[in-house]
Structure 1
């Protein structure tokens, strides 16, 4: 098959993609011709398994489920998989087909997978279901990923390329740190969790029109217009990495709140009957008042998600290479809709509050939130029309070190509010004991949107250096990235709070009622939590800060032909969130992770990979008990 220059294949990718490519064995594929049509078919098959290697932290299991945590929304995975248990046993394949006629072609990529552990095995706490889940989050399935046509051309001697269809476009210079310029495509998080995952499996192609055009020898322009919106695929509830349990599509009955109250421990009918006895019958014959409670708490129902619209997503980029500076510069603008959701909620109508207050008085007043929670609802929404402005550079220092970086600015980025404040906003209208249960002033029937728009500025820079013949290796690759983010216009945390997992409960509250302090609220609504945890997190910490920063590093050693033609690539990766709490989980102060890996390759066809990852550090780090080992074997042809 004759190879010709394909502009779309040469589009600059983030270094993270390039690094991943160095660890994967190249696949030569099968080339063929059908008349004047040139074709290539590439395939990758793999099997793999992953194991949990640390027991669950009791502080991250809700008190209603036997732990010491202050919420039940992030613990299904911890109860489903114990230390030493397998949480994935998977077979998967991915295939690429390209057909080319002259300068015009079509590219199609598809994948399929079957996870025997998640699909066929039962779980000790909650079985894992594929019902109504996003296709990528299911335990088994098949998907068409890329599917686009392209045409390469020249205008006045300057090359250009156009593509139409489902595709991935990567901009910017981000390597490891997210929330970067590279926001055009959503991510399939579930795919990246699977042992033996490749970059191309986890980037979700989206239908769009894309054009890249050289304007001069050193100046080029790019533009895209998306024809549809798609969301990031998060982990299915109950799977090993899932947190929280209430976000994935189809996970509609997992938001259970408040105390495991013995008055309502036997389901809807008993809950209403017991409350009715206490209220002297005032709740009788009220079909509009619904309470669904089990051992985990009262169910807050999930209503329909509010997806973003398909139209209105576009962007443009300019790239200039300066021969004098030996540096490429980039400038970017895009308007896009969030690929990740905001958690929002709505309290019940005013009559629910009045009935609850009239029916439950005296010592029984503490049961009023049961009625409110059981008649509230939550929904996920995806903020639209986020604007992004970006600048980037890429150069080589005199030492031979590659240096790149980017600056991004979003004047109207959504920053997620504290989920606990959102939920307890529905309790505030009860007044009295619960009059200040949240910093958010909820009103009967009012929706509380789970985000506010803020200015977010982020800078990150990457250094890459190659050392030959070091430690017996033919080459040592060192990569490091540092990033810092600033949120403009952030209110004082005694007015509005952003971020922090609900497992840690509310922060400080105005002490204007008998149970309106943080510890008293925890004691009244989750009395089974440990006394230490009822007060431990009642502090102004763990919420989004004005500024946060961290860094990532990776080292990869190349040992070719170690034995019998087998090439080995040991690696070590390090992550450290140094200071502050970034918006939407970007940085968590003190959180660290280290990963040790070994990749093997034989004859550019057969591969094996073994990796161990340890998460630790950070008082508000919900990943500290998610340590795991992954092993995979693959074949590329």
Structure 2
């Protein structure tokens, strides 16, 4: 079992704060108001989309923006009053933020977390994040044309300069979580009326939000990836984390209440998961900085220690040098064989597009109905492996033979006898000087008693060491890599309405993902890759010439790339309810939002030859008896409650809040599934806002659940923002 980062589920792992919309601000029909309830929850009030007012996050060169602007100018009617002849307005806004994160819970020991514990071991109780950031946005607007630019820079002083307890952060990890500058949105936009038909266009790096999901990922809104590390930062906003992609987006309203939308992307970006070794990371080999995967916890450490204690390194190294030029590789820091990471396999930039149809039904109390199709490449990583070739397999077999030959002489039994004599002297309080040890070794009684132990110990030690070095050599020739499958299709239906005069806003969606790739458990992939060398080392197969014909030896996979995923059709449905009440506990207003969702994997076999992990990396057992498995059906809910106190302290508004999450039943397969059975997350916090220019937030997040990889990583966050 190899626990992994819950890559698709950053929105459920750590909540920090809530930033509410401006008090008393008028929100026009069609706008979407976001407020982030920390790195755990992102809440979008279910107000209908107005594509003319969308603003997004992006990352692309400035060259694209000027090309985009030129494209719109060329296509503009001659009498349009945009930049060429009309007035132009310019605005600039800046936001300074500083956030601190403190770990408040003790580490729990995990004996099966060799590939997932760097982040946990690197941080004790105390400061784990200390980040300053600046976000700047600029907008030029004419009568019907505009240009929007946003950029973001940050530095986390703790993770850039701090000393980690176990594993130093790599430069790649620091580039993601330690410091950085990104040019975000940079796109041109225009509103036209050809033939009296409203037409909106955007060209450049941007984010496009489709569907009605508020909390739960893997629905309709699969167009843009995320930078998870930005959502981990106290005081961060959704706009800082959305990764833009270059695209052309258009929306047209051919008849009243009916709109058609479409996009075509000409660039691909991945979701940037937590870098290896950072506080919230739960995988040591997939994110930025991941270089190798340990194969398994085993007795290799003890075997290597025995070789060192018995003084047999020279004999083994001499034997190995004659075969492969290798030496014994023992160290306390790397006691297990490991598979190194090869280059990621990323998809092409083209071939990503989507279409949407929206209808506003007056007969259904102005309910908006949406129909969607998206074809996009995976933003989330899947892991697979490359098996060594026949020559590398034979070299590893030779390594095993060399080690066995090196230990076939009298040195090993003599060393074992001597160790037993030392142990006998120590147990009986005898001196450990050479004369006493020599006397014990010369005793016939000792020889008679120790002889059977030596006969038992030596073959196991020889076989174990031979196997260790053979597997180590074979693993050094193997590789794993991260891939992003192409052409993942999503079909979706959505609705958005208000329930009469009750004030309850209701929204929901259904999405269907045909042939969605579900990650095989990485330990199973690695075990399959090692099957050929395992058969050569298996004493139960004396005739090695029969190995190619034995199915379990998987001789046919030699020199091949393994299939790291299993394709299945997946459905997901979710519904969200929102209400803003009057005064509760003396507040000026009280808000409530909750979302429930269910994920179903169609035709999920009860017993499958390729193990599937749940989102935390727990494997699905081939016998179906392991409770650490992915389920065909899984569901859960998320929500938040907040109270607004206007002018609580002078002109300052206070907003205490509670955020909650529970994965009620079932664990969905990685990497897209959102649920881990039994996981619970609760955040208690309070925000303060002064004249919409200065704000602060304090929160405490608690994790629970046996399969929650962040169960022992409760934390407190503090943030301060200043906008000007």
TM-score (normalizing by structure 1) = 0.83
SS, match of residue 119 in structure 1: helix
Alignment size in residue pairs: 574
Deviates more, 1:622-631 or 1:352-361: 352-361
Instruction: Check whether the contact 2:140–2:146 (CA below 8 A) recurs between aligned residues.
Output: yes
Q: Tell me if the contact between 2:488 and 2:516 (Cα under 8 Å) persists in the aligned partners.
A: yes
Which of 97, 122, 127 is equivalent to 1:46?
97
The match for 1:286 is 324
RMSD: 3.2
Distance 1:10 1:160, change over 3 A: farther
Of 576, 579, 589 in structure 1, the residue corresponding to residue 662 of structure 2 is 576
Are 2:242 and 1:154 aligned? no
Q: Relative to structure 2, which stretch is displaced further, 367-376 or 456-465?
A: 367-376
- 2:162 matched residue in structure 1: 121
Residues 306 and 197 (structure 1), Cα distance of their counterparts in 2 relative to 1, 3 Å cut? same
Aligned to 1:330: 370
> Is the deviation greater in 426-435 or in 344-353?
426-435
Deviation at 1:347, TM superposition (A): 2.3
For 1:184 and 1:149, the matched residues in 2 are separated by 19
How far apart, CA to CA, are the structure 2 residues paired with 1:197 and 1:116?
Answer: 16
Aligned positions of 1:412-427 closer than 5 A: 412-427=515-530
Residues 244-263 of structure 1 correspond to what in structure 2 (within 5 A)?
Answer: 244-253=283-292, 255=294, 257-259=296-298, 260-262=300-302
For residue 605 of structure 2, what is the aligned residue in structure 1? 491
Deviation (angstroms), 1:560: 0.5
Shift of 1:158: 3.2
Distance 1:388 1:441, change over 3 A: farther
Structure 2: where are the runs of 5+ without partners?
Answer: 1-27, 46-84, 405-458, 542-549
> Quick check: which has more Rg, 1 or 2?
2
The yes-or-no answer on 1:562 pairing with 2:603 is no
Taking structure 1 as reference, are residues 55 and 503 closer, same or farther at Cα in structure 2, changes over 3 Å only?
farther
- C-alpha distance in 1, partners of 2:237/2:210? 19
Q: In structure 2, do the counterparts of structure 1 residues 292 and 344 end up closer, same or farther at CA, with 3 Å as the change threshold?
A: farther
Q: Higher strand proportion, which one? A: 1
Cα-to-partner distance string for 1:501-556 (whole Å, 9 max, x where unaligned)? 7986x77578xxxxxxxxxxxxxxxxxxxxxxxxxxx9522222111100111101
**Is 1:396–1:403's contact at 8 Å kept on the other side of the alignment?**
yes
Q: How has the CA–CA distance of structure 1 residues 447 and 466 changed in structure 2, closer, same or farther, with 3 Å as cutoff?
A: same
Match of 2:337 in 1: 298
- Partner of residue 493, structure 2: 391
Residues 343-352 or 42-51, more deviating = 343-352
Paired residues of 1:221 and 1:317 also in contact (CA < 8 A): yes
Q: 1:402 to 1:58 in 2, by over 3 A?
A: same
Query: Which runs of structure 2 are paired with 1:189-208 in the superposition (5 Å)?
Result: 189-208=228-247
Q: How does 1:114-513 map to 2 (within 5 A)?
A: 114-131=155-172, 133=173, 135=175, 137-253=176-292, 255=294, 257-259=296-298, 260-262=300-302, 264=304, 277=315, 281=319, 284-286=322-324, 295-296=333-334, 297-326=336-365, 327-357=367-397, 359-360=399-400, 363=460, 364-365=463-464, 366-367=467-468, 368-398=470-500, 399-429=502-532, 430-431=534-535, 432=538, 443-500=557-614
**Matched residues in 2 for 1:292 and 1:210: separation?**
57
Per the alignment, residue 91 of structure 1 pairs with 132
Query: Is contact 2:225-2:243 (8 Å) kept?
Result: yes
- The 1:434/1:608 distance shift into structure 2, 3 A limit, reads farther
| 1:134–1:205 Cα change, 3 Å | farther
Q: Equivalents in 1 of 2:383, 2:695: separation in Å? A: 41
After superposing the two structures, state which structure 1 stretch, 273-282 or 104-113, moved more. Answer: 273-282
Distance 2:566 2:29 in 1: 39
Q: Partners in 1 of 2:723 and 2:306 — Cα distance?
A: 54
Assess, with a 3 A threshold, how the Cα gap between structure 1 residues 20 and 609 changes in structure 2: closer, same or farther: farther
> How far 1:611 sits from its partner (Å)?
1.0
Measured in 2, the distance between the counterparts of 1:44 and 1:167 equals 20
Given that 2:320 and 2:326 are in contact with CA atoms closer than 8 Å, whether structure 1 keeps it comes out as no
Q: Summarize the Cα distance change of 1:408–1:201 in structure 2 as closer, same or farther, 3 Å threshold.
A: same
Aligned to 1:514: none
Residues 521 and 617 of structure 2 are in contact (CA less than 8 Å); yes or no, is this contact kept in structure 1?
A: no
Cα distance, 1:255 vs structure 2: 4.2
Matched residue, 1:626:
713
- Whether 1:587 and 2:675 are equivalent positions in the alignment is yes
Structure 1 residue 339: deviation in Å? 0.3
Q: CA deviation at 1:482?
A: 0.4
Partner Cα separation in structure 1 for residue 33 and residue 540 of structure 2? 50
How far apart in 1 are the matches of 2:656 and 2:325? 63
Looking at structure 2, the residues matched to 442 and 610 of structure 1 have their Cα atoms a distance apart, in angstroms, of: 57
> Offset of 1:359 from its aligned partner?
4.4
1:186 Cα deviation after fit: 0.4
When structure 1 is superposed on structure 2, of 354-363 and 162-171 the one drifting more is 354-363
Match of residue 123 from structure 2: 81
Shift of 1:36: 2.7
> Any conservation in 2 of the 1:104–1:150 contact (CA below 8 Å)?
yes
Distance 1:462 1:497, change over 3 A: same
Inter-CA distance 568–345: structure 2 relative to 1 (3 Å threshold): same
User: Which segment drifts farther, 237-246 or 248-257?
Assistant: 248-257
What is aligned with 1:72? Answer: 114
CA change 1:471–1:549 in 2 (3 A) is same
Question: What TM-score do you get using the length of structure 2 for normalisation?
Answer: 0.74
The answer as to whether partners of 1:440 and 1:496 remain within 8 angstroms in 2 is no
Q: Distance in 2 between matches of 1:226 and 1:461?
A: 29
Of stretches 375-384 and 488-497 in structure 1, the one that deviates more from structure 2 is 488-497
Q: Is residue 344–residue 448 contact of structure 1 (8 Å, CA) maintained in 2? A: yes
